[in-house]
Structure 1
Amino acid sequence: MQLNADVRGHGYPLLCLHGHPGNAACMRVFTEKLSQRYTTISPDLRGYGHSRMATPFTMTDHLADLNDLLDRFDIQQCLVLGWSLGGILAMELALQQPQRVAGLMLLGTAARPRGNHPPISWQDNALTAIASLINKAVPGWQWNIDTFGQRSLYRYLIQQHTPQAYQRLADEAFPAFLQTSRHAQQALNQALRAGYDRLPELEKIAVPSLVLCGECDRHITARASQETAQHLPHSSFKQYPQTAHLFPWEIPKVVLADLEHWLQTHF
């Protein structure tokens, strides 16, 4: 299928891949700055955002879509930035099409993803719904953050409950959640149930890689991200304290500074 994509800036191409649930808008935290030096291409993956899909698919379909996307823009080689599921797809692209990937930036992800998320109760879901609806109506309202946000499932996604992070939740996460299809959820669940593990193959990735993670990530643990970095031959690793899976929205300036420094050092 032809993916919907947000293209910004001019320069060397940088493919930006969102997580689950997510869409191209969720990558604005990166593209708003990086598009000043690069051409950033942020697609809505199949079954997400405006890349509608009415029939079931598998994770391998994402790779075919991404190759078609690069062909459409006549991109022979690019940098790839992937967050969560997007990081897994970035590694898969580097393994399957090594000639197309010049470098990897992997955030909150792992080649053998493992989480330690506690069981979810009905109270968790109820508080998350309330917090989300209020936050969408009044983004970053401190009363809502203190009363509902920090008691909801957001407590596992972020550690620094700032108005700025909740603004991102309202503007980007909430619409992305509503636009994520059940087929996308099914494809991800199928891959996880199969015991996804690409650690043994990572030694084949010869390009420079940067792995970043949040210390308190419950969805993909920091230990799993570090394990991935240790298996990548030419990688750098950094863990941010007091942050979780959505750490780019918690400390965006710090993360962007680290990304830009790594890019300037290696490219």
Structure 2
Amino acid sequence: MSQHRCFLRVDLHPLSTRADKPHAVSCVMHLNGLELHVEQTGEGSPLVMLHGLTANIESMRAEIDRLSRSRRVIAIDSRGHGRSDKPSAYTLTDHVDDVLGVMDALNLTQVELMGSSMGSYIAQGVAIRAPARVKRLVLVTPKAHGATSSSARLLAQHADELQGKSEAEVQAFMFNLVFAPTTPAPVRASMMASVQQQAQDGLMLTPEQNLAANRALEGFDFRPDLPRVTAETLVISGRHDALNPPEEGERIAQLIPGARFEVLEHSGHVPNLEEPERFFALIEAFLR
């Protein structure tokens, strides 16, 4: 039987607050042999939100603040990430188990489910295993299969040019691959500032934790099972996404019955930052 404890979240960075922003309640849930950090914000229809690889709830703060004005947002720090426990080894199946466990603990029979990058892989797994429990599905910069994580694939592809580079230089190289070539410098700087703030808050992963997070994404393939998804589905890709190219999202939309596919023409892997107006317009219209 799961147990959890909850407390009112206090915003430690008051410059980012808004008068109309709903209060958030943070919970530590004991599920599947570990502690998961879950945050609930707003009221109404439940929307479960899942972040990307090596990220955390804070990376979804803009989406949480915006979408919680009209619904109850449940954001999860995936195992191995954020303020959740970080086991030395786990799998994508474990991530799926955790999301369903959170839904069970909160007595959520059916939800809207939104995942970005790694979160979109987890969301696909949930929608495949428990189709009736996902009413609407939003997959942002997704792929449906991979021998490795997308980050590991890019590092391998660019191994020659990265040889002899410092860790900081490698990180800078990968950081630039996240964006479209035309993404303005202020947008890039805002993401870097967010990453630096998360580092100050102790939310960044150690090299060992990073390795475990990447290994969890090795060797999955949802393509044969995607036709079983019954949720209304919106797939969003960035035209210049080097990690999960738009062809990956288009293929997912072809495999899920009735799915809608949208490409943001001026975005890379983070359309929420690169084209926020278009990004939120698509999602809010879809979720109604």
Distance across 2 between alignment mates of 1:253 and 1:208: 22
Superposition CA RMSD, Å: 2.3
- Match of 2:47? 14
Out of 55, 59, 62, the residue aligned to residue 95 of structure 2 is 62
What is the aligned counterpart of 2:229 among 200, 205, 213? 205
Where do 1:148-187 residues align within 5 Å? 152-159=173-180, 160-172=183-195, 175=198, 179-180=204-205, 182-183=208-209, 185-187=211-213
Equivalenced residue count is 241
Q: Which one scores higher on RCO, CA 8 angstroms, separation ≥ 6?
A: 1
Deviation at 1:178, TM superposition (A): 5.3
Contact 1:215–1:243, Cα closer than 8 Å, also in 2:
yes
Contact 1:11 1:37 (8 Å CA) reproduced = yes
**How far does residue 179 in structure 1 lie from its aligned partner after superposition?**
2.5
Structure 2 unaligned regions, length at least 5: 1-33
Distance 2:276 2:166 in 1: 27
Which residue identity does 1:166 align to in structure 2?
Answer: A
User: Which residue of the partner structure matches residue 137 of structure 1?
Assistant: none
- Given that 2:146 and 2:217 are in contact with CA atoms closer than 8 Å, whether structure 1 keeps it comes out as no
Compute the TM-score of the two structures, normalised by the length of structure 1.
Answer: 0.82
The percent of aligned pairs where both chains have the same amino acid is 25
Shift of 1:233: 0.5
Amino acid at match of 2:168: A
Q: Aligned residue for 2:21? A: none
Residue 227 (structure 1) aligned with residue 269 (structure 2): no
TM-score by length of 2: 0.76
1:80-139 CA-to-partner distances (Å, cap 9, x unmatched) read 00000100100100111122111100000111248573415144743366x6xxxxxxxx
Instruction: Tell me, in whole angstroms, the C-alpha distance in 1 between the residues paired with 2:196 and 2:72.
Output: 23
Shift of 1:8: 0.7
Deviation at 1:174, TM superposition (A): 6.3
Aligned to 2:57: 24
Q: For 1:126, which of 157, 168, 174 is the aligned residue?
A: 168
In structure 2, do the counterparts of structure 1 residues 93 and 183 end up closer, same or farther at CA, with 3 Å as the change threshold? Answer: same
Q: Which residue of 1 aligns with 2:37?
A: 4
More strand by share: 2
Q: Which has the higher helix share?
A: 1
Gaps of 5+ in 1: 132-151
- Tell me the CA shift for residue 64 of structure 1: 1.7
- The Cα shift of 1:61 comes to 1.3
Q: Are the counterparts in 2 of residues 57 and 183 from structure 1 also a CA contact under 8 Å?
A: no
Residues in 2 aligned to 1:15 and 1:190: alpha-carbon distance in whole angstroms: 21
2:70 paired residue among 31, 37, 44: 37
Deviation string, structure 1 residues 129-185 (Cα, Å, up to 9, x no partner): 6x6xxxxxxxxxxxxxxxxxxxx3322101203313421332247627953353463
- The 1-side partners of 2:247 and 2:211 are apart by 25
Q: 1:61 to 1:246 in 2, by over 3 A?
A: same
State the distance in 2 between where 1:102 and 1:173 align. 36
Residues 184, 94 of structure 1: alpha-carbon distance in 2 compared, 3 angstrom cutoff: farther
d(CA) in 1 for partners of 2:116, 2:278: 16
Say yes or no: does 1:239 pair with 2:263.
yes
Instruction: Out of 225-234 and 107-116, give the one that drifted further.
Output: 107-116
Task: Classify 1:173/1:207 alpha carbon distance in 2 versus 1 (closer, same or farther; 3 Å).
Answer: farther
CA distance in 1, matches of 2:174, 2:142: 19
